[in-house]
Amino acid sequence: MSIYLDNAATSYPKPEQVYQAVLHAMRDIGASPGRGGYRRSLEASRIVFQAREALATLFSIPDSSRIIFTHNATGALNLALQGVLKTGDHVITTSMEHNSVVRPLQALIRHGVAVTTVAAGADGMVDPVAIRCAVRPETRMIAVSHISNVCGAVQPLEQLAAIAHEAGALFLVDAAQSAGYRNIDVGRIGIDLLAAPGHKGLLGPSGTGFLYAAPHVALTPLMQGGTGSHSTLETQPLSMPEGFEAGTLNLPGIAGLKAGVDFILERGIDAICRHEQALIQQAEALLSQIPGLTIYGPRDPICRGAVLSFTVAGVDPSILAVELDHGFDIAVRSGLHCAPQAHRTLGTLPSGTVRVSPGWSTTGEEIAFFSDAVVQCLAKITSA
């Protein structure tokens, strides 16, 4: 039995329709979107438009032209941060952020942007009162991860959005671990900027992602080049979305992303959420019986996404992950998960954790097999 439990990094397997959409774009279309008036190019453009519309439906975005395709969530976050913030601005973020937020902010500090990092609690949850206390007159943005990629802590987006808007600031959400798993209504929540990858919960191929920017958000492009429109201009146009998508788009990837989003819309995001939550609760119940094992993150299932991190006293997480892989063909993630500040908050530096993240196709039988395999691996490690 081969078991894949690293969907927080990249979802696998994809629905069959995703593979077929990628092949169709490559074999049957081949042309670039927006780069010609012939039928193949127009068909490519139609697929890109339909992908934007599918994403707009999933996230309740009124105008799909406000969706900018990127290579991943990292590209989207860089555009949101570097394309908005200027010298003298102040940003509030949290200690649970991924390096895709931390590192661009560190670069911006060198250009005169001030950053306040609000510490989360030991369970990874951020207190909105602490965020409010960090607000300054020059606060331009509050940037938070919806769900922690380390411990699954779900942050209270609506409360944080209200604080941002009361301060006249923008609210940026990193939805890397929630897009495709939790219902996100950008208008109801009050999200000004939403960044998400295509290859995780949205079930699309690698090399895909997007940034949603609300109509009142003024962005500056980070890349200049061909857009397929405004070709007489020697400067980069600011038209949405083409002005922010310089160069040829990843048509096979976007076609696959559309198919993944269509699958989610057909199955129902609430059903997917319930399925993955049930698997996490099952894993937690089984793993909690193991002596010396510590699970990190909120205890309340409502406050945890489809991510579970744990350590075992006296056992290096990387050794346990290798034993699970080599001995049982089970794929899990170990280490710091590109979020060292989060591990410092949780108290799991320097070795990190073992992270388990089921997906839409994971079964309860696989979780039971995994939990039993952990017991057997620990017996082998501790007896060596």
| 29, 47 Cβ separation under 8 angstroms | yes
Tokens of 276: 């993955």
Give the pLDDT confidence score for residue 32 in this predicted structure.
87
186-205 pLDDT, tens digit per residue, is 999 999 999 999 999 999 99
Instruction: Give the Cα separation of 178 and 113 in Å (integer).
Output: 28
Q: Are strands 114-118 and 90-94 parallel, antiparallel or unpaired?
A: parallel
| 188, 313 Cβ separation under 8 angstroms | no
Q: What is the 3-state secondary structure (H, E, C) of 238-279?
A: CCCCHHHCCCCCCHHHHHHHHHHHHHHHHHCHHHHHHHHHHH
**Beta bridge pairs of residue 196:** 210
Q: In the predicted model, is pLDDT for residue 103 greater than 80?
A: yes
- Catalytic annotation, pick one of 151, 273, 338, 377: 338
- Residue 241, Cβ neighbours under 10 Å: how many? 19
Distances (CA, A) of 276 to 18, 203, 222, 359: 20, 14, 36, 6
| 313, 363 Cβ separation under 8 angstroms | no
Instruction: Give the Cα separation of 126 and 222 in Å (integer).
Output: 31
Q: In the predicted model, is pLDDT for residue 224 greater than 90?
A: no
Structure confidence at residue 155 as a pLDDT band (50, 70, 90)? very high
SS3 94: strand
Q: How far is C-alpha 149 from the chain's CA centre?
A: 8
290-328 pLDDT, tens digit per residue, is 999 999 999 999 999 999 999 999 999 999 999 999 999
Give the pLDDT confidence score for residue 247 in this predicted structure.
87
Instruction: Give the Cα separation of 210 and 340 in Å (integer).
Output: 25
| 327, 375 Cβ separation under 8 angstroms | no
Tokens of 204: 């699309």
Instruction: Give the Cα separation of 274 and 306 in Å (integer).
Output: 10
Q: In the predicted model, is pLDDT for residue 182 greater than 90?
A: yes
Tokens of 149: 């990629």
Structure confidence at residue 338 as a pLDDT band (50, 70, 90)? very high
Q: In the predicted model, is pLDDT for residue 1 greater than 90?
A: no
Give the pLDDT confidence score for residue 243 in this predicted structure.
82
Task: Give me the mean pLDDT over the 169-175 stretch.
Answer: 98
Instruction: Give the Cα separation of 88 and 252 in Å (integer).
Output: 41
What residue has token string 């919806």? 146
What is the domain class of 3-12+269-383 according to CATH?
Answer: alpha beta
Give the pLDDT confidence score for residue 194 in this predicted structure.
99
Instruction: Give the Cα separation of 266 and 256 in Å (integer).
Output: 15
Give the pLDDT confidence score for residue 235 in this predicted structure.
83
Buried b (16+ CB within 10 A) or exposed e, 334-365: bebbebbbbbebbebeeebbbbbbbbbebeee
Catalytic residue list contains 338: yes
Q: How far is C-alpha 38 from the chain's CA centre?
A: 36
Across the chain, mean pLDDT equals: 96
Q: Where are the domains of the chain?
A: 3-12+269-383, 16-267
Give the pLDDT confidence score for residue 236 in this predicted structure.
82
Instruction: Give the Cα separation of 263 and 380 in Å (integer).
Output: 41
Higher pLDDT, 112 or 33: 112
SS3 126: coil
Q: How far is C-alpha 311 from the chain's CA centre?
A: 23
Q: CATH for 16-267?
A: 3.40.640.10
Q: How many CA atoms are closer than 13 Å to the CA of 176, on its beta-carbon side?
A: 30
Classify the C-alpha dihedral 128-349-334-376 as positive or negative.
Answer: negative
Q: Are strands 170-174 and 90-94 parallel, antiparallel or unpaired?
A: unpaired
pLDDT exceeding 70 applies to what percent of the chain? 100
Residues 6+ apart with CB under 8 A from 297: 123, 124, 148, 150, 151, 152, 153, 304, 307, 308, 309, 346
Give the pLDDT confidence score for residue 136 in this predicted structure.
98
- Residue 318, Cβ neighbours under 10 Å: how many? 14
Give the pLDDT confidence score for residue 298 in this predicted structure.
97
Start-to-end CA distance of the chain, whole Å, equals: 25
**Beta bridge pairs of residue 117:** 93
Same topology for domains 3-12+269-383 and 16-267, yes or no?
A: no
Structure confidence at residue 35 as a pLDDT band (50, 70, 90)? confident
Q: What is the pTM of this model?
A: 0.96
Instruction: Give the Cα separation of 87 and 34 in Å (integer).
Output: 35
